[in-house]
Amino acid sequence: MEFMENRELSWLKFNKRVLEEATDENNPLLERISFSAIYQSNLDEFFMVRVGSLTDTAITDKTKKDSRTGMTAAQQLDAVFTAVRRLQPGVEEAYRKNLEELSAFGFEQVTMETATDDERTFLELYFKREIKPFISGVVVNDALPFPFLKNKSIYAVAQLGSKSDVSIGIIPTAYDHGERMIPLGKGGMRFILTEDVILHFAHLMFKNYKVIDRALIRITRNADIMATGKGEEFRRNMEELVAKRTKLAPVRLEISDDFSNDALDYICKKLKIKNSRVFTSRIPLDVSFLFALQELDDSEELHYTKRSPRVPAVLSEKKSMFSQIKAKDILLSYPFESMTSSFIRLLQESAADPKVTSIKITLYRLARNSKVIDALCTAAENGKEVLVMIELRARFDEANNIEWSKVLQEAGVKVIYGPRDYKAHSKLLLITRKAVGGEFDYVTQIGTGNYNEKTSAIYTDLMLLTADREIAADAEAVFSGLLNGTFVENTNKLLVSPLALRPQILSMMDEQIEIAKSGGEGYIAAKVNSLCDKVIITKLAEASQAGVKIELLVRGICCIIPGVEGYTENITVRSIVGRFLEHSRIFIFGKAGKEQKIYIGSADYMSRNTIRRVEVAAPVEDEKLKKRIRDMFAVMMKDNVKARIMQNDGTYIHAERKDGEEMLNSQEYFYDEAYKRLEDKKARQEQMRINRSKRKPAKKRRVTKNKK
């Protein structure tokens, strides 16, 4: 359709926006280079998952088409490969430019060509003593087997012998105890990469052969896996699949330089990969080492201003979390407010509270040293009923979650794995506590992000804590469904996919359409990571045609194109890519007022979230909290530093500042706001203390006895 974009191409546009941060001079230099590494990490995952999935589809269902653009899987793959190649010059330019600018601060990546004579002598000795004993070269030809090449590992390859008789030498560049960055001075700021040294001395690994040509290669393998089964069988199947994933078919081959066509064709033949999937890079094939450079210099001018999550000003350290939530709903915003002093505190208090009878929670991604796991284990050991739904299919966290499930079971926690064929992506917690008179009180938490202390400091997310009994009843129904393998069909207040989320969202959009058709001001807004659900996109276009004003904040994939005449003129789309990963999801229906409906939750506007996963969104009903979310959304819509605006041809441009308009970076604004709220709270407390100290003590009455 004219107003719809292909999902994969839209994602590549998002990654281009990430790459643009690597060249944004408003970002400090050592922060800029991290965006190059993030771009590459994103692209690796894209090839492993999306390109892997499309590759499978192109083989098994050649006629299947993208419902939005009508492209077959093969056509999408061709378009993806073309787009990636077009991005590569910008990737290389950003890398070179940033490394060149960093040289003024003492950083220098050395090659064997730029190394000094003394350094080359040192490196030859280093290779012979510290590298060569721990690696081995393998010669392959038609008479010798081709070795298995690990996913995302770098190998030095050499064409050996004569051009008429192709033999290939292959050397792994990663080995036990080996450091990828070999320091050459300045505390490691002057360095050379191990693979460059190994490639240079490759001839020493094949003494009986003549090295005709050499290069570095790196392959990316398909990682699209899905396990079946129930209970412990499911966990065993997942463990086996995670192990097998590293051996799935290659979907991309990267090479460091021009290389003999015969030798390259031979490698492609052995890997069973087409030449169309070969990508040349003139910079290191893996730039993840750039993150390590950030640790070598702590100069303020090279880094972002240091920020740390604040203790939420709305919380009292003297009152229990349960009592504060019972008194009023609480909204928390990460990373600006601390997860440890709010959510983790709630879990720890609940684990120790003798009146708490049960804790139920869904887990998707966790920190490696998880305080959440510690609290849940403590609760179980203290005799509480603890039910944990842990999603073993969380992409690339499968192994981590499998291990955590074992830890939880050993502590006496009841662990379940969710419904067959549907991931449970919801962020939901339900705590039950004994109250006066034999009754029970409840605290329900609904969030937009994972219970991961590490990512809570770098992802923007929202969390609602409420004692609402209807929401608690809905949460109980969700956990009952997860336990029994069924889905929630009807709710009091929560939106719960796969059956009771998208229909309600469409219904609320219809309400705004009717308002607009009746001459009123219809309004729809949403902040999501991705928007590609065709049903929702079609409804948004219908709303636009009816005159509803629609404002969308979409960080990543956005398959609706705004401003297309006759379809989406009333839609605006913005994307914010900055210091923190925008991860919160907000749904707004209607203008400000009591009739306005606001939800936060775990679901994006993607069909995989709305109809193929268990997701939960909660209404924000407290008027103060609704205003806070409206204000946050308004600030993000005014961001003129990190925001891009989507045009009616699908391209993005940076938001421009109007004459006299101040720079507004929404993420920094929210951090400043969190700091200010806490400072204001401390000032009020100090003033109260001063006022109390100034009060004069009351005069004591003189008591006299009556004389007889």
Catalytic residues: 425
Both structure tokens of 439: 């009754």
CA torsion 64-229-449-32 (nearest 10°) is: -60
- The single-letter DSSP state of residue 555 is S
Both structure tokens of 623: 């008027």
Closest CA to 111 of 37, 219, 210, 198: 198
Backbone φ/ψ region at 593: left (φ over 0), alpha (ψ -120 to 50), beta: left
Measure the CA angle with vertex 548, ends 547 and 552; round to 5°.
130
Give the position of tokens 């009020």. Answer: 684
Give the position of tokens 């920190």. Answer: 367
Closest CA to 448 of 426, 470, 431, 430: 426
How far is the C-alpha of 254 from the C-alpha of 691, rounded, in Å? 70
How far is the C-alpha of 615 from the C-alpha of 583, rounded, in Å? 15
Give the position of tokens 């030498």. Answer: 169
In 608-687, where do the E strands start and end?
Answer: 613-614, 616-619, 643-646, 652-654
Cα distances (angstroms) measured from residue 349 to each of 21, 354, 356, 432, 506: 41, 10, 9, 13, 39
Say if CB 551 and CB 572 are below 8 A apart.
yes
Both structure tokens of 92: 């290389």
Measure the CA angle with vertex 160, ends 158 and 161; round to 5°.
165
Neighbours of 284 (CB within 10 A): 20
Q: Hey, CA dihedral for 340, 343, 345, 348, is it positive or negative? A: negative
